[in-house]
Chains A and B, each alone.
Chain A
Amino acid sequence: MIFLKWISRIYLICILLFLYVPILVMIALSFNESQLYRIPIEWSTRWYEALASNSKLHSATLNSLTVALLSTCLSTSMGTAVALAFFRHDFRAKRLLQVMIFPPITIPWLIIGTAMLVFFFWVGIGRGLHAMILGHVALSLPYVVIVVSARLKSFDSALEDAAKSLGASYWQTTFWVTVPWLMPGIIAAALFAFAVSLDQFVISYFLAAPGFTTLPVEIYTAIRKGFTPEINAISTLVIFLSMLLLLGVSRFYRFGGRN
């Protein structure tokens, strides 16, 4: 038994190493003086200082945050409404509709991105901020529906009945009883949507317009032009932001098992 216990521990350590070693290496190198990855590492913050004067990265970051914020607001409110509709009503083809919400998760992003690009050009939406927001909303919507629906599973619909019996209208019931109860799920869903948008590359790449890119797209372009440890620095910052978001999600969302 002790043998098995050690095996499982080593296994766990291997998985964590597999997940985190590349990231840790990159973080370490972002603090290295040398541009050519010379070892031993000489401590330096010069790449972070270089970031401060890189206006392209600044505007790309701002764009990323704008797109993420706006698409999160849209997809969270729409997704919550979808989850509520699935919860409250039984209608024909409900199952079909539930399944049809999920393709953005299952279809490769490359294909969705191409389809969106073609379609947006065809109907005259084109590329840029508005197109990117539309794309990100479509992409993060299923995540919101899943997370909010999971929370709704433990909602007692007698609460809505009680509110109505006390004279509350449809909207009063929704906003005074149901939504406050759902709030932890809605916040988790919003953080999810924010992370999905922030990390999205393929669709952003397709829908980026000249003069309007997001951070992942800008990083990719920079790598193609020639790699500098500046990328390590900005990536490190993005990683910390993502981890922070994830911590926020875990505060509100049960990842399976009992927390």
Chain B
Amino acid sequence: MANVSVLNLSKNFGTITALDRVSFQFEDGKFFALLGPSGSGKTTLLRMIAGFESPDQGSIHIDGKVVDHIPVEKRDIGMVFQNYALFPNMDVQANVGFGLRVRGISVPEMKRLVAEALELVRLSGFDNRRPDQLSGGQRQRVALARAIVTKPRVLLLDEPLSALDRTLRLEMEIELKRIQRDVGITTIFVTHDQEEALTMSDQIGILNEGQLVQHGSPVDIYENPQSIFVARFLGEANLLRGQAAGKNVKLEIGGTVQTLSKPAYPQVICSIRPEKISIQKEQELQRSNANRIAGRVNEHIFNGTSLTYLVQCGNLVVKVFVQNLSGEVIPPNSSVHLFFRPEDTLVFPDA
């Protein structure tokens, strides 16, 4: 177990900047997600920590020691690859035991440790199966057992769940989190799936175009995105353009809303999460001092526990999530008002 820190890492592939001065501390025993769209540099960062790529600038520390010149095989890491990369010519026992075999551990000891690891991932008794005789979820577990059986200092996961179907993925998310908690290993998880990042990690780092744009706990990042990119990438956001005057923003679609802080720029974009908005029919209007905009329901999407309304406000369509409390649905073409609190109205400069 160890902390990992990266300092000012930069990497270019030809003219493409893969990483641009990224610094980050991965604390001991925590679960980190590196989240970003494809090409954001998240996989490059992971492969650099593993040692497969070397940085053009900056350095990587594991346990306080610089590891820049230590090759992959000496870094004492565990890694799970996107397609698992199980050795097809070896059975499950040999796959999981591989890291022990190269370390020269005796056969009985190896068997004991492999059995322990297989038990941890709930695959006891699969020792003699070959990878092609396993389902996707089972391969995933073997890959995980193989990565942690050597008790590495850091566990690196490269989109390990992306090849699984949805049901299996949700199941593995819980499993992975349980195993990580049981073993207590510092884990860095690369994903482009925001849901995975939110549900599994203690800390999220969001990358865009090679830069670490924001990091923090899932709740912190979700509630306080520091840029439009983060607001839209993690969760959904309705973006309303307007002109700021003090704490008031005059919206392009008509109406004025209040914000909590005073925007520093005159031209702003307000971001409001769909679930922070409540919707009311015109004729049932109640008094409220929340922000309010008027619109007309375009359509609704009903999925049992909740409802999504698409509301036409001027030339914009605003998305609203409503919990299904009453079982009542507002029909299309109804005139409605949308309410949201000033503290949920986040403002960003309009670039």
Contacts and interface: CB of A to CB of B under 8 A. Distances in A.
B103 A165 contact: no
Interface of A: 156, 158-159, 161-169, 172, 176-177, 180-181
B87 A162 contact: yes
A165 B102 CA distance: 11
B79 A165 contact: yes
A181 to B, nearest CB: 6
Nearest to A181: B89
Contacts of A163: 87, 98, 102
A159 B98 CA distance: 12
B52 A181 contact: no
B229 to A, nearest CB: 30
Contact of A162 (B71, B85, B150): B85
B29 interface: no
A165 B78 CA distance: 6
Nearest to A164: B72
B91 to A, nearest CB: 13
Contacts of B41: none
A168 B73 CA distance: 6
A162 B142 CA distance: 13
19 contacts: A158-B81, A158-B82, A158-B83, A158-B85, A159-B85, A161-B79, A162-B81, A162-B146, A164-B71, A165-B77, A165-B78, A166-B98, A166-B150, A167-B103, A168-B99, A172-B102, A176-B98, A177-B87, A181-B87
B304 interface: no
Contact of A161 (B52, B78, B86): B52
Interface string B65-98: 0000001111011110111011111000000001
Contacts of A166: 73, 78, 98-99, 102, 146-147, 150
A169 B85 contact: no
Given A162-B85, A177-B87, A168 B102 contact: yes
Contacts of A176: 98, 101-102
A161 B88 contact: no
Contacts of A181: 87-89
B50 interface: yes
A161 B81 contact: yes
A113 to B, nearest CB: 41
Nearest to A165: B79
Contacts, number: 64
A161 B85 contact: yes
A167 B81 contact: no
B76 A167 contact: yes
Interface residues of B, number: 27
Contacts of B76: 167
A167 B83 contact: no
Given A156-B85, A181-B88, A167 B79 contact: no
Contacts of B98: 163, 166, 168, 176
A167 B73 contact: yes
Task: Give the 10 A-B residue pairs with the shortest CB-CB distance, closest first.
Answer: A166-B99, A162-B85, A158-B85, A165-B79, A164-B72, A168-B102, A180-B89, A164-B73, A167-B102, A158-B81
Contacts of B81: 158, 161-162
Contacts of B89: 180-181
Interface in B113-148: 146-147
A95 B74 CA distance: 33
Given A167-B150, A168-B98, A181-B89, 19 more contacts: A156-B85, A159-B87, A161-B81, A162-B81, A162-B146, A165-B77, A165-B156, A166-B78, A166-B99, A166-B146, A166-B147, A167-B74, A167-B99, A168-B99, A169-B73, A169-B102, A176-B101, A176-B102, A177-B87
A101 B101 CA distance: 37
B84 to A, nearest CB: 8
Contacts of A165: 50, 72-73, 77-79, 147, 156
A220 B76 CA distance: 63
Contacts of A177: 87
Contacts of B79: 161-162, 165
Contacts of A169: 73, 102
Contacts of B71: 164
Contacts of B77: 165
A175 to B, nearest CB: 11
B75 to A, nearest CB: 8
A164 B85 CA distance: 12
Contacts of B50: 165
Nearest to B101: A176
Residue of A167, A172, A177 with most partner-chain B CB within 10 A: A167
A164 B73 CA distance: 5
B297 to A, nearest CB: 49
Contacts of B52: 161, 164
Of the candidates B77, B101, B102, B156, the one having the most CB atoms from chain A within 10 angstroms of its own CB is B102
Contacts of A156: 83, 85
Contacts of A167: 73-74, 76, 99, 102-103, 150
Nearest to B47: A161
B151 to A, nearest CB: 12
Nearest to B94: A176
Contacts of A161: 52, 72, 79, 81, 85
A38 B235 CA distance: 92
Most A CB contacts (10 A, CB to CB) among B73, B77, B103 go to B73
B155 to A, nearest CB: 10
A180 B73 CA distance: 20
Interface in B166-194: none
